[in-house]
Structure 1
Amino acid sequence: MLMVLCFTVFKCAVSPTGDKFYISNNSQHKLLTLARDGSVLATFTDHALQHPTGLHVTPAGQVLVSGYGSNTILQVDSEGKRKLANLATKDGAVKPWSVCYNIHTASIIVGLYNKSSIIVFKVG
């Protein structure tokens, strides 16, 4: 069964310096980067990002976003303009719902939709 999510603003996160806000737009498959005054600085779209749900900003300012519909975890630059890496695909992350980076273990923790488990990817 395919579940269609109809959320415009799904998650939001703040840059480490507090000057940028990141918004995952689930229904339009976008990651928006906003200035403090609310103006749009960047709009990121990619075929590998469908129905973005999870969103996390690392201490270095890189953005992690999970694509529920595309079964991916992407790393985006701090400007929100370009993809740096495709960190996981459907082979490792089926219906990723949430994503977080743990600086102490250098790992990305992914919560999966409708599962009572998480996946941990070591990155460092």
Structure 2
Amino acid sequence: MIALLLAGAMLAAAPANAFTLSAGGAQAYGTYDQMMSIPERPVPPIAVSGTLAVNRPGQCAVVQIAYNGPADGIEWRTLNSQCRPGRTGFRTQSQYLWGGAKPPLRLCVGPNQRVAEQGRNCDVHTPRR
């Protein structure tokens, strides 16, 4: 009973801008914030920071954010990768996508970084408008 209460309290304490992704023995979690800018010090409107954790040996994971590619397509930029058990941090700032959409994040896994970056085994975080 106490464990259920503690788990509920921990979930309730998570900020509204938090995200959690999970794919093939890897997790990524952190915050996805919308930033305010002033004319004297403009900043990109999106700020993302978090942790990438790999739990399985022989597994590579990448955290990527979408950006506008050629011909209005979507491309994925790798924020960080991890190819052995452990954790690493990531942080980035980004612009909106075409049409004013917030860029999604994804966590992808594979046997090496190149395969993981191809995006075949992924979990995607699509932020609310």
TM-score of the two chains, using structure 1 as the length reference: 0.33
Q: Which has the larger radius of gyration?
A: 2
Q: Identify the structure with the greater helix proportion.
A: 2
TM-score of the two chains, using structure 2 as the length reference: 0.32
Q: Which has the higher contact order (CA 8 A, sep 6+)?
A: 2
